[in-house]
Amino acid sequence: MSSTVGQVIKCKAAVAWEAGKPLVIEEVEVAPPQAMEVRVKILFTSLCHTDVYFWEAKGQTPVFPRILGHEAAGIVESVGEGVTDLQPGDHVLPVFTGECKECDHCKSEESNMCSLLRINPDRGVMIGDGKARFSINGKPIYHFLGTSTFSEYTVVHVGCLAKINPLAPLETVCVLSCGISTGFGATVNVAKPKKGSSVAVFGLGAVGLAAAEGARVSGASRIIGVDLNSDRFEQAKKFGVTEFVNPKDHDRPVQEVIAEMTGGGVDRSVECTGNINAMISAFECVHDGWGVAVLVGVPHNDDVFKTSPVNFLSERTLKGTFYGNYKPRSDIPGVVEKYMNKEMELEKFITHEVPFSEINKAFDLMLRGEGLRCLIRMEH
């Protein structure tokens, strides 16, 4: 047993003191895990749009000071009371949404929207006692998405940790903790393209390229990438995207262009932009009779989806999905195995790396729209 069990740990964390201001590496105190909680030593974390979005705190309730970060990989340091399925030394991926295994959603084969541990960006405290486990000189530093992985140590509810194969390289499977599973799962679990079929992917960021990777491993023969930014096309070739459409190059709706390219529409489409017009196009570009469109991107609060009901009567299906429909504890270990068995590729998503002390560079890269994922290596 390590000497830190039951003790407060002092370690480095990147604290967001104010909206939009560079993170500051501070020494923080991390309290021991309470009932149903686990303290995790983070080894790798990566930056995702959701971190930037809540760091900017535009139009949301600001929760500061806060430790951001949710895409990560680490090792269990100690466990609180009642935790039976994890022990110190286990390798884990923290996940921003959980699986309590007891609620109606967790018991349903179809849902991954756990009632107890579903994503809640406004909450800055642990659900057990409503307190933060991080502090500086006794003042609380708030949590983010139940994960707060921009810290050498963090405390996470056991229901938000996927226990993975200890042989899996943490610096690579780290990206399965959020974005890549979201896009990949949207295709393989929800759109479910058949071998030889056509798939359109709207938005060629990390999430869309993960959706394309899902189409590639499903054996789709045509993967049509749609993006307003043609710079994305070169990179997308590595992800099996076979054709490209930039809506800006056409003076008619992109759904018409796609219908013409495919003799009536694609078999499946996956929308990974968060743009309402792309969502509508993604639905209207699927083939009548059997086409299925899946929405993944997060829209603006006041967006409204408008289409003719005839599009449904003519047997098109519209679905939406959250975290690729994966249940974090039950399903994510299996996704890691897919990577281990070389059934999916992950390295190509990691385009940059910085040491933890230079975490703000990862924010700069994302704000400039450069690369896909920037890996942040902790410096224990």
CB atoms closer than 10 angstroms to residue 283? 24
Closest residue to ligand APR: CB criterion: 205
Among the listed ranges 155-163, 193-201, 296-304, 355-363, the one in contact with ligand APR (CB under 6 A) is 296-304
Binding flag, residue 232, ligand APR (CB under 6 A): yes
Closer to ligand APR at the Cβ: 13 or 206? 206
**Closest distance to ligand APR from the beta carbon of 273 (Å):** 4
How many residues touch Zn ion (CB under 5 A)? Answer: 5
The yes-or-no answer on residue 352 being catalytic is no
Whether 285 is catalytic is: no
Q: How far apart are CA 326 and CA 111, in angstroms?
A: 8
- How far apart CA 204 and CA 163 sit, in angstroms, is 30
**Footprint on residues 241-270 left by ligand APR (CB under 6 A):** 247
Residue 368: active-site member: no
Judge contact between 97 and 108, C-beta under 8 A. no
Q: Residue 237: which residues within 8 A CB-CB, separation 6 or more? A: none
Residues belonging to the chain: 380
Say whether 71 is catalytic.
yes
6 beta partners: none
Residue 26, C-beta contacts closer than 8 angstroms, at least 6 positions apart:
12, 13, 14, 15, 136
206 makes contact with ligand APR (CB under 6 A): yes
Does 193 sit near ligand APR (CB under 6 A)? no
Please name the residues in contact with 327: beta carbons below 8 A apart, sequence gap of 6 or more. 99, 106, 112, 114
Tell me which H or E stretch contains 173: helix 170-173
What Cα–Cα distance (Å) separates residue 98 from each residue in 73, 101, 142, 292?
16, 9, 19, 27
User: Residue 241: CB partners within 8 Å, gap ≥ 6?
Assistant: 201, 204, 209, 212, 223, 224, 225, 233
Task: Tell me: does residue 103 bind Zn ion (CB under 5 A).
Answer: yes
Task: Please indicate whether residue 70 is annotated as part of the active site.
Answer: yes
Pick what 298 binds: ligand APR, Zn ion, none; C-beta below 5 to 8 Å, kind-dependent: ligand APR
Cβ 241 to ligand APR, closest distance in Å?
A: 12
Answer for the pair 125, 117: CB distance below 8 angstroms, yes or no. no
Q: Which is nearer to ligand APR, 12 or 373 (CB)?
A: 373
Residue 273 near ligand APR by CB under 6 A: yes
Interface with ligand APR, residue 204, by CB under 6 A: yes
Q: Is 114 a binder of Zn ion (CB under 5 A)?
A: yes
Site for ligand APR contains 277 (CB under 6 A) = yes
Of the ranges 17-25, 92-100, 140-148, 291-299, which one interacts with ligand APR (CB under 6 A)? Answer: 291-299
Active site residues per annotation: 48-50, 70-71, 100, 103, 106, 114, 118, 178, 373
**Contact positions toward ligand APR, by CB under 6 A?**
49, 179, 202-208, 226-229, 232, 247, 272-275, 277-278, 296-298
